[in-house]
Amino acid sequence: MSWVSKKTIEEWYSEWKNMPEYEQENLEPFRVIKIQFETQEDVNTFAKLVGAKITPRTKGIWFPPKERKHVTKIYVDEDEI
């Protein structure tokens, strides 16, 4: 961890002073269950039972089905690249 000068902290604080708090909504699922199928027919039956569209590219589904949120911006921490 590098040292940060007091001036830098003061500059940062002045930019963020009086900003409203941001509460991140918990978007994590309550529970995740792995389901395995022996045949494509089993997959089709399951999809029909739960009202989901399951394609070869499907990695997961929400139940009950959930509308996808369209993300217009993605923020990346450069330290994690």
Q: What is the pLDDT of residues 18-62, one digit of tens each?
A: 878 878 888 899 999 999 999 999 999 999 999 999 999 999 999
Task: Indicate whether 9 belongs to any domain.
Answer: no
- What is the model's pLDDT at position 69? 75
For the entire predicted model, the pTM comes to 0.55
The residue that leads in pLDDT, 63 or 6, is 63
Can you tell me the distance from the alpha carbon of 66 to that of 45, in angstroms, rounded to the nearest whole number?
20
Tell me whether residue 2 is in a domain.
no
Domain count, the chain: 1
- Hey, CA dihedral for 6, 12, 17, 21, is it positive or negative? negative
Residue 77 domain-assigned (yes or no): yes
Q: Specify if 49 maps to a domain.
A: yes
Looking at the domain assignment, is residue 22 inside a domain?
A: no
Structural domain contains residue 23:
no
Range of the domain at 76: 29-81
* In a domain? residue 14: no
